[in-house]
Amino acid sequence: MSNQNEKIITQQTSHHHFNESIKETDDLETNFDWTKYDESFIRQEREQKRKKYEEIYVKTLPDVQELEIYGGKIISIHTKTVLVDFGFKAEGIIPMSEFKENLSIKVGDHLEVMVEKIDYKGQCLLSYQKAKMLRNWEKINNAYNNSEVILGYVSARTKGGLIVEVFEIECFLPGSHINVKPVRDYDTYVGKTMEIKVVKINQKTKNVVVSHKVLIEKDIEEQKKEMISKLDKGQVLEGKIKNILPYGAFVDLGGVDALLHITDMSWPHINHPTEVVQLEQQLKFVVLGVDKEKNRIQLGLKQLQPHPWDSLDNALKIGSKVNGKVSVLADYGAFIEIIPGVEALLHISEMSWSSDLSSTKDFVKVGDKIEAMILTIDRKERKMSLSMRQLTQDPWKDIHNKYSVGSKHFGTVKKFTNFGVVVELEEGIYGILYTHDFSWTKKIKHPSEFCNINSKLEVVVLSLDSQTRRLILGHKQLKENPWKKYESIYFIGSIHKGQISNIFDKGAHVQFVDNHFLDAFVPMRFLEKKDGTFLKKGETSSFRVLEFNKDNKKIIISHTSTYRDKEHKKDQRVRNRKFERSTLGDLEGLVRLKEKIEKEKNK
């Protein structure tokens, strides 16, 4: 309030100088010799003196702006208004209604006011409450910007939380920010004062969100850091299971949470943590790791028990046969439990001699009991790998004798691919049958147009590579290539009967009447009939072969050329006959002319 006091002192001094100046002017008029000057001159001198002192007085007054806050002093209290001197040339008026909550005001009290309006007469309408509210908002914003801890009074509960009064401003405390633990009864907080922090302010809507939980979390975090700093790997601690998730459980070590991963709960494989631990269960754990920077603790439970590898039969070695149960499936293979807590890897490549297993599910499933042979065993690293195919003879061993190139066999369609089908000839022996080797005559885009999964199919071996274990099969090669015979039948220029089987933008497919397995293509322009219309789907007509390509299995034909070529030949014959007649006529005329010339010479 020191600045305000200075304003008030300045105002009082200004009033004093102004009054003294006016008095001097009056004395001047009284003692002045009126006989020497006329009345108009004296009036002019007097006005100039007044203006000079008024200007000096006005300069001492503050530049008052509307909606600004100024310090003031109560100079009088009336029934409906309170007059306040705030350093302006006129006192300001505050409605008495703004002091209903503070009836103890008295003349001489200092307070802050906001200039709401200055009317044309220079009268100022002031507001005590608006100045107070603006100052409170400044305090709220300062607390938010400086992350200050402030006190708030819980005045009421509301939907989803509590109403907290801070600097006489109502703020919202969400239920999730009351405590670190869920709060069920909000009413227990009503009427209490609590420490809070402002976490969000909406300047447009004037909404303020506060939190008490952030203060608790800060305290907990500091305690957690202190406790974690004292932990070391290998320590055994007691804790309580706080929460269970599919990948593990969180353990409360007395104010600090730690993770117990599912893989550290039991030496034998488990599918879910509840197979080993339960909520609120009190157990002992060993500290496996401490990340002091990230405040993370990793615990182990199984490490407090003897390792199952220590009880594994010492007689087991590479080449030994073992029995086990499939415990886990992975993309690359399966894990086989030999004894509880001891698992070995059965890689997908060691499940079968076949190289076409796309998934472990094609061969084994969880729970299956199998027999396998030990491929590798490392007791120090506690790792073991198995093989099932080593227990059977390799079917590719004498592959050249059973599946020589050109030999015919029956197989089962096992899988469709983008390029054909995979055919199983026997267990462990698979071959590839490409789409272009399905048929000599039909154009097949997808294997499903030719066969079904598990269909029996006769094939012939086209090629064999024992090193890469690759067999290429064919089906159309079981029959002679008919295109050699078609070459002599559907030669260029030959005419055949055919039926339109399909029409599209560029033309149509035609099926020959004398060969239902053979299709030909007609460009759209060659579908035109003699009457100017075009052939339609299902119509049968004559077609002339325009192109025959044995290698690409392509025949292009035309209906239009069957009648246009005849008309062309007829026109050609007519033109030839006219040419012959005209030529003979010309020759006869020349002969007669020659004979006439010779007769004239003889004369």
What topology does CATH give the domain 308-391? OB fold (Dihydrolipoamide Acetyltransferase, E2P) (2.40.50)
- Comparing 125 with 498, the larger pLDDT belongs to 498
pLDDT, tens digit, 9 for 90 and up, residues 14-71: 444 444 444 444 444 455 554 555 667 667 777 776 666 555 544 544 556 666 777 7
pLDDT, tens digit, 9 for 90 and up, residues 473-497: 999 888 877 777 888 888 888 999 9
Encoding tokens for residue 142? 């300062």
CA distance 577 to 192: 126
- Check residue 344 and give its pLDDT: 94
Q: Which residues pair with 516 in a beta bridge?
A: none
pLDDT band at 241 (very low <50, low <70, confident <90, very high): very high
Element (H, E) at 29: helix 2-31
CA distance 398 to 395: 7
Helix 2-31 / helix 39-59 crossing angle, nearest 10 deg: 170
Which DSSP symbol is given to 505?
Answer: S
| Helix segments in 417-522, DSSP class H | 483-489
* 490-603 and 399-478 share a CATH fold: yes
CB 390 within 8 A of CB 340: no
Has residue 8 got a pLDDT over 50? no
Which DSSP symbol is given to 255?
Answer: S
CA distance 88 to 68: 13
- Check residue 222 and give its pLDDT: 78
- Check residue 376 and give its pLDDT: 95
Has residue 270 got a pLDDT over 50? yes
CA distance 462 to 423: 14
Longest dimension (CA), the chain: 176
pLDDT, tens digit, 9 for 90 and up, residues 388-447: 989 988 888 888 888 999 999 999 998 898 889 999 998 888 899 999 889 877 778 889
Residue range 2-131, CATH number: 2.40.50.140
Has residue 260 got a pLDDT over 50? yes
Has residue 2 got a pLDDT over 50? no
CATH class of 399-478: mainly beta
Lowest mean pLDDT among 68-77, 194-203, 590-599: 590-599
Encoding tokens for residue 284? 């002992």
CB 547 within 8 A of CB 558: no
What topology does CATH give the domain 231-304? OB fold (Dihydrolipoamide Acetyltransferase, E2P) (2.40.50)
- Check residue 299 and give its pLDDT: 93
- Check residue 84 and give its pLDDT: 84
pLDDT, tens digit, 9 for 90 and up, residues 567-603: 555 544 444 444 444 444 444 555 566 666 666 655 5
Report CA torsion sign: 401, 407, 409, 411.
Answer: positive
Q: What is the mean pLDDT of residues 505-521?
A: 86
pTM of the entire structure? 0.41
Has residue 7 got a pLDDT over 50? no
Which DSSP symbol is given to 419?
Answer: S
- Check residue 585 and give its pLDDT: 47
- Share the mean pLDDT of the chain: 81
pLDDT, tens digit, 9 for 90 and up, residues 459-476: 999 999 888 888 999 998
Buried b (16+ CB within 10 A) or exposed e, 545-566: bbebeeeebebbbbbbbbeeee
pLDDT, tens digit, 9 for 90 and up, residues 103-126: 678 888 888 888 887 776 667 888
What topology does CATH give the domain 490-603? OB fold (Dihydrolipoamide Acetyltransferase, E2P) (2.40.50)
CA distance 89 to 122: 8
- Check residue 57 and give its pLDDT: 46
Lowest mean pLDDT among 168-182, 186-200, 213-227: 213-227
Tell which CATH architecture fits domain 147-217: Beta Barrel (2.40)
- Check residue 526 and give its pLDDT: 92
User: Rg of the Cα trace of the chain?
Assistant: 55
Query: Which residues are CB-neighbours of 70 under 8 A, at least 6 positions away?
Result: 4, 7, 62, 64, 86, 87, 112, 113, 114, 115
- Check residue 275 and give its pLDDT: 92
pLDDT, tens digit, 9 for 90 and up, residues 300-338: 999 998 888 988 888 999 999 999 999 889 989 999 999
- Comparing 602 with 217, the larger pLDDT belongs to 217
For the chain, give every domain's residue range. 2-131, 147-217, 231-304, 308-391, 399-478, 490-603
- Check residue 15 and give its pLDDT: 42
Q: What is the mean pLDDT of residues 287-297?
A: 85
Has residue 3 got a pLDDT over 50? no
- Check residue 225 and give its pLDDT: 79
pLDDT, tens digit, 9 for 90 and up, residues 521-564: 999 999 988 888 899 999 999 999 999 887 778 889 999 988 88
- Check residue 583 and give its pLDDT: 44
